[in-house]
Amino acid sequence: MPRPKPATFDKKKVVAENRRARFDYAIDTTYEAGIVLTGTEVKSLRFGEGSIAESYAEVSGDEVWLVNSNIPEFSHGNRFNHEPKRPRKLLLHEREINKLHGAVAREGMTLVPLTVYFNGQGRAKVELALAKGRKAHDKREHIKERDWKREAGRVLREHG
């Protein structure tokens, strides 16, 4: 019997965050995925460099790939340095990959990376979200709702 997953992931050091994703997409479920990196990519991430702002994930065959993420070349890397925008393989269980493939193919959902971080054991991980794109009117509705909640919290604090 598999162990239940924790509600939130154990993020020790967040390297890159896609802050725009929570606004542009309605997040359904999140997954923690390992990422296959070379040595100079890990060093570059440990220095806090990297961006996932325009990146996305795609399911091809029985593998999931992180596309268009930018990890700049390591400054002290020599001829063994990596290519900054290469596709990187994500490590997920087969059952999770099948679930993601079905959601992307049938329901028109998108795989969006939310954060790249190092967990408590020092392994690089990606928080991957299964999301549906928001239309312009949905975004306006989201802004109104967020502002209303902020205002309600302010009034409650003032009037005790």
Q: Of 62, 56, 55, whose CA–CA distance to 101 is shortest?
A: 62
117 — pLDDT class (breaks 50, 70, 90): very high
Q: What is the CATH number of the domain that holds 78?
A: 2.40.280.10
53 belongs to a structural domain: yes
What is the DSSP-derived secondary structure letter of residue 8?
A: S
In-domain check, residue 6: no
Is residue 82 situated within a structural domain? yes
pLDDT for the residue 6: 59
- Secondary structure of residue 20 in the 3-state scheme: coil
The band of 108, judged by pLDDT with boundaries at 50, 70 and 90, is confident
pTM for the model stands at 0.78
Q: How many domains does the chain have?
A: 1
CA distance linking residue 160 with residue 157, whole number of Å: 5
Question: What is the per-residue pLDDT across 37-66, written as a single tens digit (0 to 9) for each?
Answer: 988 888 888 888 888 998 999 999 899 999
Residue with more model confidence, 8 or 20: 20
Q: What does the pLDDT average to over 123-147? A: 86
The radius of gyration of the chain from alpha carbons, rounded to an integer in Å, stands at 18
- The answer as to whether 146 is a domain residue is no
Q: Which domain, by its residues, includes 75?
A: 13-134
Q: Answer yes or no: is pLDDT of 18 > 80.
A: yes
Amino acid at residue number 11: K
Domain presence at residue 46 = yes
Looking at the domain assignment, is residue 144 inside a domain? Answer: no
Residue 62 lies in a domain: yes
Q: Is residue 3 part of a domain?
A: no
